[in-house]
Structure 1
Amino acid sequence: MHDHRFEYLLRLADNALVLAQRLSEWCGKGPVLEEDMALTNVALDLIGQSRQWLAYAGEVDPAGRDEDTLAFLRDAHEFRNLLLVEQPNGTYADTIARQFYFDTWHFLLLRGLLGSSDSRIGAIAEKSQKEAAYHARRSADLVVRLGEGTELSRTMIQASLDGLWTYTGEMFALDPVAAAMARAGIAPLPAALQSPWINHVRSVFDEAGLTMPSSEAWMQQGGVRGVHTEHLGYLLAEMQFLQRAYPGAQW
């Protein structure tokens, strides 16, 4: 159980950390100033959440690593984030589609963690859920705005949602770590989040006038086991450069 808890905390932390790094790449490059600032603020929220999860993970890490070591000195195969969050930013439509899928799931997960038998996890979830609720509303609203906008914006957001759909199934997959957390009352079963996620996503698609991909589509797997796309290695090379180039540096 001890190792399972550590692995689960890494999943929570790595999702937030990797997605924050992706969103930070938009800083100074947003399509409009307001959106540039908004994406950066969401990234900052996720960094704050990741730090809380990593701090707790460090306390139960069998290897005794602290939050900075876990963030900056693990290799790609040691990261436990969903494949979805490591996908490149691409166009603005790609970024919003990725955010929408993740934000909806993230809010539902954090809500499910509020009643965790681990009071520390419950406390972090309670604080993080407030930010996640805003993120979910914001990304859903933007999907609707793009879907109801011009022919070009509608075509682009539809293509982005279709392209990233294959990465959504991993959010609901059961494995030994998730099963152990559910048995201990620490976290909900992943499958318990699927129906409310599907229902909300479908309602947003309908409001935006978009076509929802097939629920029977083939889904990518592997991120939570440390099997990642090539994109994560490049992301970590940039994120971890200073700590690896100047070990132990402080400022």
Structure 2
Amino acid sequence: MTATITKEDALLQFLLRMGDNTLILGHRVSEWCGHSPILEEDIALANTALDLIGQTQMWLGLAGEVQGEGKSADDLAFLRDAWDFRNVLLTEVPNGDFGRTMMRQFLFDAWHSIILGRLIKSSDARVAEIAAKASKEAAYHLERSGDTVVGLGDGTEESHARMQDALDYLWPYVGEMFACDAADSEMAAAGIAPDPSGLRDEFDALVGRVLTDATLTIPSSKWAHSGGRDGRMHTEHLGHLLTQMQWLQRAYPGCKW
């Protein structure tokens, strides 16, 4: 039996997915602040995190409007529990070493740049406007993460091994970004967002070119983790992340400064 969903509920799910992806990844990347290998990378990763959080404010701000319960972007970020988040699992896995962080960033950036390019033509002017702003940042993120993956993958024996290990670990999380459910089908039918499954060929081509230059081998397995974007099953890592990210608001409800 195919699940049914209203256009309004589908739009809310779509906005939460976009906003939660950038929120959770933005927080993960921010964990490198003060801990990066060199000062230049410390600044670059901090700026990437800020870009993602800025995009989160737009996506979750619109989600709050669509939901119609008077909730702000901050409310949705800091007052939901883990099972209410709709980010893909890729964004919540721990940073690991610098190579794994950059590989995760590249895989996300590749998908992000593609879907934002499609969303610029969304039938919903609000979505199109957010995508137009975010796509400029995503293009830069992709260029930087892609160049870093190539530099490390085609670098020393150790850096190559670390990047291959990172790719092997993260590849099973890629497939979830292209899953399609009733909400996605409703968004595609309304012309608001593309069917995620239709983005896979472009993603594979883009990623394939970069990873070939990086002398890295894409794992052959087609198996993929799932459960994050529909809230069925997050990793245990999300709960720990939210404990840190939401602590101040939970400890001092409604605090303003």
Tell me, in whole angstroms, the C-alpha distance in 2 between the residues paired with 1:213 and 1:4. 33
For 1:54-93, what aligned pairs fall within 5 Å after superposition?
54-93=60-99
| Distance in structure 1 (CA, Å) of the matches to 2:37 and 2:199 | 33
Matched residue SS, 1:224:
coil
Task: Calculate percent identity across the aligned residue pairs.
Answer: 55
**Which residue of structure 1 aligns with residue 186 of structure 2?**
180
Aligned match of 1:197 in 157, 179, 203?
A: 203
Note the residue ranges of structure 2 that are not aligned, 5 or more in a row: 1-6
Per-residue deviation at 1:63?
3.4
Match of residue 243 from structure 2: 237
Which residue type is aligned with residue 229 of structure 2? V
Tell me, what secondary structure is at the counterpart of 1:225? coil
Q: Does 1:225 align with 2:237?
A: no
Q: How does 1:17-36 map to 2 (within 5 A)?
A: 17-36=23-42
Ranges of 4+ aligned residues in structure 1 off by more than 4 Å: none
Tell me the distance in 1 between the aligned counterparts of 2:166 and 2:222: 15
Q: How many residues align?
A: 250
TM-score under structure 2 length normalisation: 0.96
SS at match of 2:80: coil
Task: Provide structure 1 residue ranges, at least 5 long, that are not aligned to the other structure.
Answer: none
Q: 1:119 aligns with which of 119, 122, 125?
A: 125
Q: Which amino acid aligns with 1:221?
A: S
Give the corresponding residue for 2:177. 171
Q: CA deviation at 1:192?
A: 1.5
The Cα shift of 1:62 comes to 4.3
Out of 128-137 and 56-65, give the one that drifted further: 56-65
CA distance in 2, matches of 1:120, 1:33: 37
**Which residue does 2:166 correspond to in 1?**
160
Alpha-carbon distance in 2 for matches of 1:72, 1:108: 28
TM-score when normalising by structure 1:
0.98
Deviation at 1:95, TM superposition (A): 0.2
Q: CA RMSD in A?
A: 0.8
